[in-house]
Structure 1
Amino acid sequence: MEWIDAASAAERLGVKPATLYAYVSRGVLKRRHSEDGRRSLFDADEIERLARRGRPRGQPPELVIESAITALGVDRPYYRGLDAIDLARTGTFESVAEWLWSAPSARWASDPAALQAAVTAQHGLAGDLLPLDRLQVITTVLGASDSLRYQLDQESVVATGRRLICGLVDALPALGPGDPGSLAGRLWGKICPNPPTPALLHALQAAMILLADHELAASTLAARVAASAKADPYAVVLTGLGVLGGPLHGGASYGAERLLAEVAEPGQAPRAVGDRVRRGERIPGFGHSIYKNGDARGALLLDLVEAAAPGHGRLAAARAVLVEVRRRRLPEHNIDLALATLGAVTGMIPGAGEAIFAVSRTAGWLAHAMEEYARRSLLRLRAAYVGPPLQ
């Protein structure tokens, strides 16, 4: 059997690469990945048969967006061609965000006046409000305070992105000392009352990098639609935040937190998992729609937490849950479980995983927004109407 790369397959079919991948998602074509996971390969005979038969018809159109930001490999994302796993081992969140934005390195700081307004706006909120709810309030106030929010050229959006992400972190109530030397260190002090160790802070930094983007995830698609209508960056981020909290997306980390909280000691793992199976519920922190055989992001983050806090009781609970899920032959764990484990080991507040996810993914949303601003056209999905006959 001869295997050819995506460029050769698209050329033979006379379609764009994005259309080729749409055929894969619709089951028209099959593909496999190269051994390094960087390339998609197609059966040359299958491509030839499709080329002779002509383009598939009779199926509703599928939205395909060409993007140069993130490609999804077998078990991991690649940011503008670079392995996100490698970036997470050695990079900083700020440098990775700038890589996603194709922007030069510059100073990251929030706007003092906008920051004060965002802090003040939270005075009437409940003290136990989850961080994700606070982030929506903060984004709204930061946007209302920014007279440059409607500047949509790339340089301006990059500058807005730095101010916005710093503002999201700095406006959250302080809980502990943190580390002002990095954005990850500043975020630590807003979601954890305990001081960080260098190794655990590195794990948080890695988590932020791993979560910075994930191609057209639900929140990113929503953010791109908003950006295509020329919504300003703050409105784009608010759109993403609104979708992120769903339990099938970023909210899954909160579900994984609650799962681990039920396992006070390893022997309770079978009951916690079994009860969810009996109720027909998904096991939060397990399974992935893209990475069917395991999420390398979750594996790396879990390894970093284990290396930073060997023998910790919360790690034993997480490992017991893993063993029970595997005993039942359920899907492998994903980054949500690793994020919940990081929170449990460090003593982070409830909802910390969602906050890490939201702050990190803001970098990706803005990268996608910049692509849409440059396109100068509105994303318009079409519905396949199945309602009553038209009168």
Structure 2
Amino acid sequence: MEWIDAATAAERLGVKPATLYAYVSRGVLQRRHGDDGRRSLFSAEEIERLARRGRPRSQPPELVIESAVTSLGVDRPYYRGIDALELATTSGFETVAEWLWTGDPGVLHGARRSQSAAPRGLGSGMERAGSGGADTGSEAVRPDAGVVAWRCEPGALRAAVTAQRGLPDDLLPLDRLQVITTVLGASDSLRYQLDPASVAGTGRRLIAGLVDALPELSEPQGDSIAERLWSRLCPHPAPPALLDAVKAALVLLADHELAASTLAARVAASAKADPYAVVLTGLGVLGGPLHGGASYGAERLLAEIVEPGQAARAIAERVRRGERIPGFGHSIYKNGDGRGGLLLDLVKEAAPGHERIAAGTAVLEEMRRRRLPERNVDFALAILAAVSGMVSGAGEAIFAVARVAGWLAHAMEEYERGTLLRLRASYTGPPVRGA
């Protein structure tokens, strides 16, 4: 059988590549991935049959958005063409965020600094720190090497901290992040500047503020976002290997194409909502149990399993109630989520023999015994939080802080497009009278 690439298939059908992938999602076409895991290949015979038959019209067209930010492979995302799993072990979160925002190769390779995302001034007269990058060549490098610390100005931080007074002490971090975002947005006189450099500057300020305005539980061990976030989620100092796992998690979760929260964020950006409103929109969707909130559900599942022998009962009870097992299954990665695999491996290497890893392994074995879906990155996040002794909801917080980078990268594309995303409904209600 002859296989052709996406560009050739789209040209033969007379459609855009985005339409070609819409045919795949609707089951009109089948595809397979090339040996490199990146290229999509199509049966030349199937394309020819479809070309003779004409474009399918049996279903309403799906919304397809062209984007240069992230491509999804067989089991992992690629950020502007680069394997996210590779980036997770060679580059820090700040560097990867800059790569998502600018697409400047110098951000990753250290040959030059990106000028398109230069810092912008604050209303207080302070400057927003930019970010450099770490060399990701053949030699292993420290993931956060050469990165200038991102900061939010003290006055805005104080306001964000004050706004949380009176909130319950056991409030989940994700709920606090929404309050913090609102306050930081209200204090930014440059929030409506939507050019790429300004949005990148907002991103640095916002991510730094989201982390630094959370209650401090331990002393930060460095200036990176990962180190500062650890001190807000865990009352104990970070063992270096577990901190590396947190750094990797931030990179792995920085973007994931048009996930539900990202689609919502893009719709907001298409209406010219400012970056803080875009992030608030994303945070509101991310907390759902079918999205970023799945890690919180997986945390609760692990908390029920005091020792590995209890895993079978915990899974059985959820299956009996017809509940989804949190942290398992993925709408894209049917045979396993590579992000979860890498993160689990890092946690196991960091804390071999830990009782929470044993409990997680028992859950994995029980799910496989029942031939239920494979684990995803949310389950790995839950194990990372449990092994590290983090507060409840820590996985959601890591997910949210990381995904701000992706939301703003997609927002930049919508600001540049300049047209409103307007979906249409397929009406199924009573007949319209008087039409």
CA distance in 2, matches of 1:22, 1:179: 46
CA distance in 1, matches of 2:70, 2:424: 25
Cα distance per residue 1:183-212 (max 9 Å; x no partner)? 100000000111101110000000000000
The residue number in structure 1 matching 2:153 is: 111
Question: Taking every aligned residue pair, what percent have the same amino acid on both sides?
Answer: 77
CA distance in 1, matches of 2:67, 2:14: 19
| 1:325 matches 2:364 | no
Cα distance per residue 1:323-353 (max 9 Å; x no partner)? 1111111011000110000000010000000
CA distance in 2, matches of 1:166, 1:22: 37
Does the 8 Å CA contact 1:61/1:382 hold for their aligned counterparts?
Answer: no
Amino acid aligned to 2:276:
Y
CA distance in 1, matches of 2:53, 2:219: 65
**What is the DSSP-based 3-state SS (H/G/I as helix, E as strand, rest coil) of the residue aligned with 1:47?**
helix
Q: 1:370 aligns with which of 390, 393, 412?
A: 412
Alignment of 1:167-246 (within 5 A): 167-246=209-288
Alignment gaps of 5+ in structure 2: 105-113, 115-129, 132-147
Cα distance per residue 1:245-287 (max 9 Å; x no partner)? 0000000000000000000110110111111011011111111
| 1:311 matches 2:368 | no
| 1:249 matches 2:291 | yes
Does the 8 Å CA contact 1:9/1:42 hold for their aligned counterparts?
Answer: yes
CA distance in 2, matches of 1:112, 1:80: 34
CA distance in 2, matches of 1:157, 1:192: 30
Cα distance per residue 1:272-313 (max 9 Å; x no partner)? 111101101111111100000000000000000000000111
The residue number in structure 2 matching 1:7 is: 7
CA distance in 1, matches of 2:17, 2:200: 28
Alignment gaps of 5+ in structure 1: none
* RMSD, aligned α-carbons: 0.8
Structure 1 residue ranges, 4+ long, deviating more than 4 angstroms after superposition: none
Cα distance per residue 1:96-154 (max 9 Å; x no partner)? 00000016262421122111110110111111100000000000000000000000000
CA distance in 2, matches of 1:304, 1:63: 37
Q: 1:288 aligns with which of 323, 330, 336?
A: 330
TM-score scaled to structure 2, two decimals? Answer: 0.89
Amino acid aligned to 1:68:
A
**What is the DSSP-based 3-state SS (H/G/I as helix, E as strand, rest coil) of the residue aligned with 1:219?**
helix
Does the 8 Å CA contact 1:219/1:240 hold for their aligned counterparts?
Answer: yes
Q: Name whichever of 220-229 and 111-120 sits farther off.
A: 111-120
CA distance in 2, matches of 1:166, 1:180: 13
CA distance in 2, matches of 1:199, 1:189: 15
Amino acid aligned to 1:142:
L
TM-score scaled to structure 1, two decimals? Answer: 0.99
CA distance in 1, matches of 2:63, 2:233: 38
The residue number in structure 2 matching 1:345 is: 387
**What is the DSSP-based 3-state SS (H/G/I as helix, E as strand, rest coil) of the residue aligned with 1:195?**
coil
Between 1 and 2, higher relative CO (CA 8 Å, sep ≥ 6) is seen in 1
The residue number in structure 2 matching 1:82 is: 82
Amino acid aligned to 1:269:
A
TM-aligned CA deviation for residue 52 of structure 1 = 1.4
| 1:26 matches 2:68 | no
The residue number in structure 1 matching 2:321 is: 279
The residue number in structure 1 matching 2:118 is: none
* Greater percentage in helix: 1
CA distance in 2, matches of 1:180, 1:114: 21
TM-aligned CA deviation for residue 179 of structure 1 = 2.1
